[in-house]
Amino acid sequence: MIKLISFSLAFFCSSFVSQPEAAVQTQTIYDFKVPSLNGGIIDFADFKGKKILIVNTASKCGFTPQYEDLEALYKKYEGKLVIVGFPANNFFSQEPGSNETIEAFCKKNYGVTFPMAAKISVKGKDIAAIYKWLCNKSENGVMDAKISWNFNKFLLDENGKLVAHFKSKVKPMSEEIVSKL
């Protein structure tokens, strides 16, 4: 009888003890969909199984010639790597144009064929959600990063995990990047 009362009391009490809530599902790169330069949508879920290099770009920057190497990298690792450019006007108004102007500039001057997102902000109060995720360990689970200038690069692996952040001076075809592809 005592065992029955003890079991009943334990069962009754356990129903009032708070149980840990299910783990909150964190956002992944695959949850992001962003407008493209040409009015379409870039859905990062479409890139599952490929490495992704995300780059904040600008048309009137000393690093703008990196578009040429970005395109060469994209072609060299086609099918294995996707590059997504994000034009941003955060640094000395080096990307003042409209989406249409940016798209024309990239195609005419550098033959860019990799996906280009619509112009966004990569820092500050109006930072785009994807860059907030990329730059904050509390969101991406891997690292904090600061966008210090145009042509910062973020590399994600085939599973969408952030693996590296490269500053502007690291060229797209550098050993630092290529060795991780």
C-alpha 106, offset from chain centre = 20
Predicted pLDDT at 9: 43
Sheet holding 153-156, edge to edge: 81-87, 51-57, 153-156, 162-166
Q: Which residues are catalytic?
A: 61
Asked if residues 29 and 160 have their Cβ atoms less than 8 Å apart, the reply is yes
What the chain holds in terms of domains, given with CATH numbers, is: 21-178 (3.40.30.10)
Predicted pLDDT at 15: 42
Cα 140 to Cα 23, 93, 129: the distances in Å are 15, 28, 12
pLDDT digits (tens, 9 = 90+) for 69-128: 999 999 999 999 999 999 999 999 999 999 999 999 999 999 999 999 999 999 999 999
Predicted pLDDT at 27: 85
Asked if residues 57 and 68 have their Cβ atoms less than 8 Å apart, the reply is no
Q: What one-character DSSP code corresponds to residue 22?
A: P
Q: For the chain, what percent of residues have pLDDT higher than 90?
A: 85
Q: Is the pLDDT of residue 10 over 50?
A: no
Predicted pLDDT at 26: 65
Average pLDDT of the chain is 89
Q: What is the rounded CA–CA span in Å between residue 72 and residue 11? A: 65
Predicted pLDDT at 179: 97
